[in-house]
């Protein structure tokens, strides 16, 4: 299964990748992008089955990326991993079509529970 991890921080992309392994999701191919615009290209090239995305990013943020995907008719399961913990932002993300919202800092157990239905 292929997952697209989108975050402008290389450190956080590595942490998400590591946490996926720690959560027991070992047979994954992880592709990465540094912002929403790059991620749109990756979606067209790589056809991931799940997208895990940050909210705040330069060039194109996570919400704009999700809205563009859905406007194009792409229904790939999509969720946010973000440090923005306020509920208004989470509700906006879910309203835009996100399937889940994981708040940083997170534990492997959270990934296991939240991502389990998708992987």
Number of residues that bind other proteins (CB under 8 A): 18
Contact flag: residue 10 with other proteins (CB under 8 A) = yes
Contact flag: residue 86 with other proteins (CB under 8 A) = yes
Q: Name residues contacting other proteins, limited to 56-85 (CB under 8 A).
A: 56, 82-85
Distance CA 81, CA 54 (A): 5
Residue with smaller CB distance to other proteins, 65 or 101: 101
Contact flag: residue 9 with other proteins (CB under 8 A) = yes
Q: Cα 19 to chain center, whole Å?
A: 13
Contact flag: residue 14 with other proteins (CB under 8 A) = yes
Which span (28-36, 41-49, 61-69, 104-112) binds other proteins, by CB under 8 A? 104-112
Residues at the contact surface with other proteins, assessed by CB under 8 A: 9-12, 14-15, 18, 56, 82-86, 103-107
């Amino acid at each position: 299964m292929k997952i697209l991890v989108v975050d402008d921080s290389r450190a956080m992309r590595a942490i998400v990748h590591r946490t996926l392994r720690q959560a027991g999701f070992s047979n994954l191919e992880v592709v990465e992008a540094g912002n929403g615009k790059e991620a749109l290209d990756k979606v067209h090239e790589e056809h991931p089955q799940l997208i895990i995305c940050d909210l705040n990013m330069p060039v194109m943020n996570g919400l704009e990326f999700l809205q563009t995907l859905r406007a194009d008719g792409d229904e790939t399961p999509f969720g946010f991993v973000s440090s923005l913990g306020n509920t208004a932002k989470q509700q906006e993300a879910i309203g835009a079509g996100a399937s889940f919202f994981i708040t940083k800092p997170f534990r492997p157990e959270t990934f296991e529970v939240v991502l389990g239905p998708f992987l």
